[in-house]
Amino acid sequence: MTSLQQKLDQFASPLEMLRSSQMGPYQFPIPAEFSNWREEQRAWREGVALMDQSFHMTDLYVEGPDVVAFVASLAINGFTGFGEGKAKQLICCAPNGYVIGDMVITALSDTLVNIIGRPTVASWVQYNASLGKYDVTCDRDERKLDSDKPKKTFRFEVQGPDAWALLEELNGAPLDSTGFFRMGHITVGGETYRTLRHGMGGAPGLEFWGPVEHYDQVKGLLLEAGAKYGIRQVGARAYGSATVESGWWGCVFPAIYSDEAMRPYREWLPALSYDGMASLGGSFTSDRIEDYYFTPWDLDYGRLIRFDHDFIGREALEKMADGPHRRKVSLVIDPEDALAVYRSQMGEGPKGKAMEEPSAHYAAYPFDTVSTADGRAVGVSSYLNFIAPDRTWVALACVEESVAAEGTPLTLTWGEPNGGSNRPTVERHVQMPLRGEVTGWPFSKSARASYRAA
pLDDT tens over the chain, length 454 residues: 699 999 999 999 999 999 999 998 888 889 999 999 999 999 999 999 999 999 999 999 999 999 999 999 999 999 999 999 999 999 999 999 999 999 999 999 999 999 999 999 999 999 999 999 999 999 999 987 777 888 999 999 999 999 999 999 999 999 876 677 889 999 999 999 999 987 655 566 899 999 999 999 999 999 999 999 999 999 999 998 888 888 889 889 999 999 999 999 999 999 999 999 999 999 999 999 999 999 999 999 999 999 999 999 999 999 999 999 999 999 999 999 999 999 999 999 999 999 999 999 999 999 999 999 999 999 999 889 999 999 999 999 999 999 999 999 999 999 999 999 998 999 999 999 999 999 987 676 655 555 445 4
Q: How far apart are CA 396 and CA 439, in angstroms?
A: 10
- pLDDT for residue 143: 85
Q: How far apart are CA 417 and CA 430, in angstroms?
A: 7
- pLDDT for residue 1: 66
- pLDDT for residue 446: 56
* Residue (of 31, 192, 181) closest to 116 by Cα position: 181
DSSP 8-state code for residue 203: S
- pLDDT for residue 362: 94
Provide the sign of the torsion angle of the four alpha carbons 332, 354, 24, 198, taken in this order: positive
Q: How far apart are CA 337 and CA 261, in angstroms?
A: 44
Q: What single letter denotes the amino acid at residue 99?
A: V
Sheet strand arrangement including 153-159: 183-188, 191-197, 205-211, 153-159, 49-52, 232-234
Counting Cα atoms < 13 Å in the Cβ hemisphere of 58 gives: 22
pTM of the model: 0.94
Architecture of domain 37-56+150-239: 2-Layer Sandwich (3.30)
* Torsion on CA atoms 92, 94, 98, 103, rounded to nearest 10: -20
Q: How far apart are CA 67 and CA 83, in angstroms?
A: 10
Q: How far is CA 313 from CA 32, 67, 349, 394, in A?
A: 39, 19, 50, 33
* Residue (of 357, 362, 366, 373) closest to 398 by Cα position: 366
Residues of the chain with CATH 2.40.30.110: 327-449
Alpha helices, DSSP H only, in 210-304? 215-226, 236-239, 242-246, 263-268, 274-277
Residues of the chain with CATH 3.30.1360.120: 37-56+150-239
Q: How many helices and strands, by DSSP H and E, does the chain display?
A: 14, 19
Q: How far apart are CA 438 and CA 398, in angstroms?
A: 11
- pLDDT for residue 449: 53
The SS3 assignment for 354 reads coil
H/E stretch holding 138: strand 137-141
Determine contact, residues 85/108, Cβ cutoff 8 Å.
no
Residues 6+ away with beta carbon under 8 Å from 216: none
* Torsion on CA atoms 173, 179, 184, 189, rounded to nearest 10: 40
Architecture of domain 327-449: Beta Barrel (2.40)
Q: How far apart are CA 228 and CA 136, in angstroms?
A: 46
Counting Cα atoms < 13 Å in the Cβ hemisphere of 125 gives: 36
Q: How far apart are CA 352 and CA 125, in angstroms?
A: 41
